[in-house]
Amino acid sequence: MTTMTPEQAAWFAQTFDRLVANVGQAVLGKPHVVRLVLTCMLSEGHILLEDAPGTGKTSLARALAASVQGTQNRIQFTPDLLPSDVTGVTIYDQKTAKFEFHQGPIFASIVLADEINRASPKTQSALLEVMEEGQITVDGVTHSVGRPFMVIATQNPIEQAGTYRLPEAQLDRFLMKTSLGYPDHAATVEILQGASVRDRSATLQALITTQAVAEMADLAAGVHVDGAVLEYISRLAEETRNAAECRVGVSVRGALALVRCAKVWAAAHGRNYVLPDDIKELAQPAWAHRLVLDPEAEFAGATNEGVLARLLADVAAPQERRSA
């Protein structure tokens, strides 16, 4: 794999900032969350948003798809949703005397899986293969969903009625988890002023093609990560497994996820190398949802975010090395 050059890093950062600004026209006042979601897309991962209704999750998915000339589908997860409603189904065609595959809504560049934790575990499991491998298998035949492909899943707070807790294996397949939250006062006023525009994302111009997104993802893979930074990530992951508050710590998949995110985050800041500060900034969105706390520790007030914050403070970061 070729290492990203400083010139490529500068171009990457410029393009990334333009995409953030473009999506920001539809999702007002949330540049940091937009940066995280774009980082997730260029890391070829998926993101989980835990939020109240009406905070702009659908607008975010539409704006992202519009900015990259991609397709966008929304799946409303309900208790009676079947796996075939997500992946598609094979139907017998009497005219041709052959079985034909009819694609489900999972075949899109950006898929909004709305209220994912309202569907049964069987339907949730329909997403596992496609999120991990970018393909689905129906009746023994494999179908690729193409690149780019990202699931933006939303979930209700777990206390709400009619929800199923997402299993750890599925949570581990989300590269990041974050929250849009409500906009601040100024952004809310701006949204209200534009109340006549029902869908801000419909007015957005595409900045790049889906092919360019795939090329940017390949380019980011060439960002240099120093051995000392990799050791730092490994130590942090080990500490989550050894922490007294945790029953389950960060897996190897989780450690790899943080490396992938950090490469894109560094390139988005115009660097062709990862700094320890990148790891500190991304550890919470990339790792907090992967921890399973001991029930007694949770009852005593421990939180996933609090455990990670303590470990980031305790584990010494390596000295910065600024050359690839």
Task: Tell me the pLDDT tens digit for each residue of 162-194.
Answer: 677 777 777 888 999 988 878 778 877 877 876
Domain ranges of the chain: 1-222, 223-323
Nearest-CA neighbor of 145 among 201, 214, 199? Answer: 214
Please return the burial class of 297, using the count of CB atoms within 10 Å of its CB with bins 0-12, 13-18 and 19+: middle
| pLDDT < 50: residue spans in the chain | 323-324
Backbone φ and ψ of 151, nearest 5°: -95, 125
Residue 30 is predicted with a pLDDT of 85
Q: Is 125 helix (H, G, I), strand (E, B) or coil?
A: coil
Q: Which CATH class is domain 223-323?
A: mainly alpha
- Are 237 and 284 in contact by the 8 Å Cβ rule? The answer is no
Q: What is residue 106's predicted lDDT score, i.e. its pLDDT?
A: 92
Half-sphere exposure of 184 (CA within 13 A, CB side): 4
Q: What does the alpha-carbon distance between residue 170 and residue 130 come to, in Å, rounded to a whole number?
A: 12
The residue type found at 135 is Q
CB neighbourhood size of 294 (10 A): 15
pLDDT of residue 321: 53
Chain centroid to CA 158: 20
145 and 136 Cβ atoms separated by less than 8 Å = yes
Domain 1-222 has CATH 3.40.50.2300: no
Is residue 176 within 8 Å of 33, Cβ to Cβ? no
Report the pLDDT value the prediction gives residue 324, as an integer from 0 to 100.
Answer: 43
271-to-19, 154, 223, 278, 309 alpha-carbon distances in Å: 18, 32, 8, 11, 25
Other Cβ atoms within 10 Å of 321 Cβ, number: 15
Rounded to 10°, the helix 252-268/276-287 angle is 130
| Helix residue spans in the chain (DSSP H) | 6-24, 31-42, 57-67, 83-87, 121-124, 126-133, 168-171, 185-193, 210-220, 227-242, 252-268, 276-287, 295-299, 304-314
For the stretch 21-33, pLDDT in tens is 999 888 878 889 9
Asked whether 73 and 213 are in contact (CB, 8 A), the reply is no
For 308, phi and psi rounded to 5 degrees?
A: -65, -40
- pLDDT value at position 276? 93
